[in-house]
Amino acid sequence: MLTFLIIGAHPDDADLIAGGLAMRVKEKGHRAVFLSMTSGNAGHMSMDRDALRLRRLREMENAGRVFGVRYDTLDIDDGYLTADIPTREKLMRYIRTLRPDVIITHRSCDYHPDHRACGQLVCDCSYLVGVPLFCPDVPAMRKAPVILYGEDPFTVPAPFRADVAAACDGCVERKIEGVLQHESQYYEWLAYDGQWTDVLESGTREEAKALLQKRLRGEFSGPVERFKDRFPAGTRYGEVFQIDEYGGPMTEEVRRAMEG
């Protein structure tokens, strides 16, 4: 059994990056765990931080239930994540306690400073995870986890490269259901921030949900449109991942669990 740890900066990032993959590998008997570095307590236009934090923790729990994964958080303030030494230690303790075989996260080139810091923090742990005198209170790992990045559209210093692909046709509707558990985001903040006027002006909750489902179906078909040759013919929905060269070497076992 392999353990896949998906680390996002905010609650909903892990779901988006690898929610489909998590369900697929679980079906094969592997374990998947989601971790949000922050509590997401900045993502709203009218709620205060404390109330939003509590709401987002509940949403994470609901999403975890839909995906069938444990959803953890380091509960750092949203917008304040930095790749500093105390946070590196915190993340290192978490990683060494869980002892994942695979870690999936953001690349460190990204529009959001928390995403950049998150990618950097995972990268900063990639070698040190095996160094016993860093965080000596938690035993070092003898085998470095494979590290992968979820897809992003950014091109500097280099565009995203799809090294591994997971088809998600069989679980796309459940992925959408899981993502939409983050209600404060999809029905409220992201709709407001992104000026999704159709969602904002929809008359009922059901109407808004149908519009969001359609939007997410479009989003989740993107990887197959952009990297068609990486997927089996006829695939409609999927997720793609880039291998990080600082992580442990990619193995056939991991690739089979993800693509097979």
* Residue number with CB closer to Zn ion (38 or 242): 38
CB of 81 to Zn ion, least distance (A): 10
CB of 184 to Zn ion, least distance (A): 13
Site residue total, Zn ion (CB under 5 A): 3
CB-based burial of residue 26 (10 Å sphere; 0-12 exposed, 13-18 middle, 19+ buried)? middle
**Eight-class DSSP state of 186:** I
CB of 40 to Zn ion, least distance (A): 8
Phi, psi angles (nearest 5°) of residue 183: -60, -40
State yes or no: cis peptide before 11, omega within 30 of 0. no
Closest-CB residue for Zn ion? 10
State yes or no: cis peptide before 136, omega within 30 of 0. no
* Residue number with CB closer to Zn ion (9 or 76): 9
By the rule CB under 5 A, 182 interacts with Zn ion: no
Unique residue bearing structure tokens 């949000």: 36
List, in order, residues 6 or more apart from 248 with CB less than 8 Å away.
143, 144, 145, 146, 147
CB of 16 to Zn ion, least distance (A): 8
Unique residue bearing structure tokens 């690739």: 255
Footprint of Zn ion on residues 2-41 (CB under 5 A)? Answer: 9-10, 13
* Residue number with CB closer to Zn ion (9 or 23): 9
* Residue number with CB closer to Zn ion (20 or 150): 150
Whether 169 and 236 have beta carbons less than 8 Å apart is answered as yes
- 85 vs 128: CA distance, rounded Å: 12
* Residue number with CB closer to Zn ion (10 or 88): 10
* Residue number with CB closer to Zn ion (10 or 24): 10
CB of 53 to Zn ion, least distance (A): 15
> Max Cα separation, the chain?
59
Binding site for Zn ion (CB under 5 A): 9-10, 13
